[in-house]
A = this chain, B = another copy of it.
Amino acid sequence: MAKTIITVSRQFGSGGRSIAKALAEKLGYDYYDKEIIENVALETGFSQEFVASKGEEAPGKTVFSYGFENQGVPGIMNGMTTHDYLWTVQRKIICNIADSGKPCVIVGRSADYILRERDGVLNVFIYADMDFRADRIVRLYGESEKKPEKRLSDKDKKRAANHKHFTDLQWGYAPNYDLCLNSGKVGIDKCVEIIYDVVKNS
């Protein structure tokens, strides 16, 4: 059947988000990335910055994980950690997007796992070598006090730990996706073309 939901998981700096956006435009599908963060922020009362930084990171181990930031929505978290609460809200929003029946491209947030039982889903993983990504994040996001390689490996570790924690699956292990592309080797534009071709012809 036609692929109407494309999930794009990506290493930080690989261009996965640019690929997902260009793909959505080319397909005429809705595009979800920051929109999910905005909706989670709206529903939880957390700031968008907080949701953006915590929603794909490894669960913390400190006492502060247990909802102390959550002054705005007392009682709602039912003893869950902030990470668990964010996950449940994110999950519900992603399911609602899928339930709407409108074709879409969804970036990150373990949408591949959340929608695993549904038909018509194509799961893509985008990654690239360290050099390619380091060059790209400095150009796009500017310098920081951390070396780009350190920023990248920190992000990779956090996303992998988050994914493992909530799905028990290994982030980046090929058999967990339908298509995995090294954007540095294949090229950003060619990645968009390949995924488009698979959506239209498989």
Binding site for B on A (CB under 8 A): 11, 122, 125, 127, 170, 172-175, 177-182, 185-187, 190, 193-194, 197-198, 201-202
Known: A172-B173, A194-B194. A202 touches B186 (CB 8 A): yes
Is A174 in contact with B180, judged by CB distance below 8 angstroms? yes
Which residues from chain B contact A193 at a C-beta distance below 8 Å? 197
Q: A201-B190, A202-B190 are in contact. Are A174 and B125 (CB under 8 A)?
A: yes
User: Is the Cβ of A177 less than 8 Å from the Cβ of B182?
Assistant: yes
CA distance A125 to B201 in the complex (A): 21
Q: Give complex CA distance A125, B173 in Å.
A: 11
A23: shortest Cβ distance to chain B, in Å? 15
Contact pick for A127, options B122, B170, B175, B198, CB 8 Å: B175
Interface pairs (8), CB distance under 8 Å: A127-B174, A127-B175, A173-B174, A179-B181, A180-B181, A190-B198, A190-B202, A193-B197
Asked if residues B172 and A186 are in contact (CB atoms below 8 Å), the reply is no
The listed residue with most B CB atoms (<10 A of its CB), out of A174, A177, A185, is A174
Q: Which residues of B contact A194 (CB under 8 A)?
A: 194, 197-198
Q: How far is the CB of A170 from chain B (nearest CB, A)?
A: 8
List, in ascending order, chain B residues with CB within 8 A of A170's CB. 173
What's the least CB distance linking A21 to chain B, in Å? 21
Q: How far apart are the CA atoms of A61 and B169 in the complex, in Å?
A: 30
Question: Quick one: given A179-B180, A180-B180, A194-B194, are A185 and B202 in contact (CB under 8 Å)?
Answer: yes
